[in-house]
A and B are shown apart, each in its own frame.
Chain A
Amino acid sequence: MAENKILDDAALDALFSEARDAPLIPSDDLMARIMGDAAAHLPQSGFEAPRSAPRWRLMLAAIGGWGAATGLATATMAGLAFGLFLPDTLSDLTTSYSSAAAVSYDLSDLTPSFYDLLPDES
């Protein structure tokens, strides 16, 4: 009989269902290998912030590097020296050339008077 020569659809579907319900269990080794691959190929998230340089290096770059820093230091020391020592030295020098110049200069002698800047009232 035909029924004996083939398995009917219901019986076959029952076998398929049984196969679906009995999945292969992956070994721990396989799972570890797959997760290892995933970790090895994990894309970087977002944009990586550039590693910031030390603050002193940024400041050095801002003023133009080592050469500029050396010049700036020299100018600073010169300015400091002028401020500390030049008034006496200047007086000594000027009196050695002319007794009429035997006076000390004051800051007000070197800057214009505020009143000189006002317009004439006449």
Chain B
Amino acid sequence: MNMPFDALNDVSDEALLIAYGNGDNEAARALTLRLTPRTLGYAARLLRDRAEAEDVTQEAMLRLWKIAPDWRSGEAQVSTWLYRVVTNLCTDRLRKKRGIGLDEAPEPEDDAPSVQAQMEQSERVQALDLALAQLPERQRQAVVLRHIEGLSNPEIARVMDIGVEAVESLTARGKRALAGLLAGRREELGYEHG
């Protein structure tokens, strides 16, 4: 039996996924509305390309639908699982695009085509995204997950498949690098006299 859509706002992601796994399409609709914006936002910040981010988001959600019948309750958070899938999909795409190992990959240039122009965001957020794009990939993932997506360090550790100490190190270094990159734009950002 399908649950009324209005009644789904307070239902957890996991309960919705299990309901979908039991044949409730309304649960899928609620999950799509709830998870797609943040999944797309995260993918766009990693890929810096909206069309590719949409493809990754669709692929990640497709994997979610496929795993629903076999989802083991309490084993993982749906959002954490999804972030992990998106992280891996984005890493694969970036690796293919570069054609070389991640460690050897150059960081994007400041004037490289970016998603910001398509994001209809404020200039301040655009400046932040440009600076994020200049971070090494793992630092960028950790900083975005911690400070924009709001995940805890243990959650990020599960997403990135690393230890909590490594997450702390990545976020600290990433944040420090961001502060340095954005320092030159203090006036632009409205902090010159702040």
- Chain B binds chain A: yes
CA distance A72 to B122 in the complex (A): 87
CA distance A34 to B31 in the complex (A): 10
Interface size on A, residues (CB 8 A): 34
**Known contacts A4-B183, A15-B189, A34-B58: A43-B21 contact under CB 8 Å:** yes
> Chain A interface secondary structure, helix, strand, loop or mixed?
helix
Which of B23, B25, B69, B127 is close to A46, meaning CB atoms less than 8 Å apart? B23
What total count of A-B pairs have CB within 8 Å? 121
Q: Which of B1-49 contact A (CB under 8 A)?
A: 20-25, 28-29, 31-33, 36-38, 40-41, 44
**Known contacts A19-B125, A26-B36: A11-B194 contact under CB 8 Å:** yes
- Residue with the greatest number of chain A CB neighbours at <10 A, chosen from B33, B53, B69, B191: B191
Is residue B163 contacting chain A, with contact meaning CB distance below 8 A?
no
CA distance A19 to B20 in the complex (A): 31
List of 5 A-B pairs having minimum Cβ-Cβ separation, nearest first: A45-B23, A38-B28, A6-B179, A16-B147, A41-B65
Q: Which residues from chain B sit less than 8 Å from chain A, CB to CB?
A: 20-25, 28-29, 31-33, 36-38, 40-41, 44, 50, 53-54, 57-58, 61-62, 65-66, 68-69, 119-122, 124-125, 127-129, 147-148, 150, 175-176, 178-180, 182-183, 186, 189, 191, 194
Q: Which residues from chain A sit less than 8 Å from chain B, CB to CB?
A: 4-9, 11-13, 15-16, 18-20, 22-27, 30-31, 33-35, 37-39, 41-46
